[in-house]
Amino acid sequence: MGSAESKDKMHCTRYLNGDGPPPLDEQKESISGTRTLKKIPGVVEGNQPDGGEMKITALRSSVEGYQDNDTIQINFVFENGIQTEMHPRPGQMYRGLRTEAYLPQNSKGRKVYKLLQAAFQHKLLFTVATNNSGEQFVTFSDIPLKTSQKGGPE
């Protein structure tokens, strides 16, 4: 038996003995955790609209470039709202946003997820902006997010 076959057999035996990775539902719980992150003193707070949601879903498919890993899908939801004094036109309405971001389900992806979670709590991921038609809407701030499972960083 060659070394590649031995490696594959050892990998399969680990799964059969219950030593493989935990099921996706358990991985999802370990990523999101049940505790709320505390805000970090001294970290600047952004102008992301209040009331946004950040939730994760574990997908049994891969992000391009990480074919050996499942995917963490992060769902962001902001409903329509009224701008505060931190936004371009206080008192006026803005259009909400529903979008997703994707990370590989591995140690680096989980680390990036925790950092994004902290940035979301500090209101740094999204902002209210004005488009060419003068319409106000929620959009990405300065932290780039991978919004497609396919393709490169964008």
Q: Which residue(s) pair with 55 in the sheet?
A: 75
**How far is the C-alpha of 93 from the C-alpha of 110, rounded, in Å?**
35
Cβ–Cβ < 8 Å for 74, 113: yes
**Domain 23-140, what architecture?**
2-Layer Sandwich (3.30)
> Domain spans of the chain?
23-140
pLDDT of residue 3: 52
- Could you report the per-residue pLDDT of 10-66, keeping only the tens digit for each? 445 544 555 555 555 555 455 544 444 555 666 678 999 999 999 999 999 999 989
Q: How far is CA 109 from the centre of its chain?
A: 9
Residue 147 or 24, more confident: 147
Cβ–Cβ < 8 Å for 114, 107: no
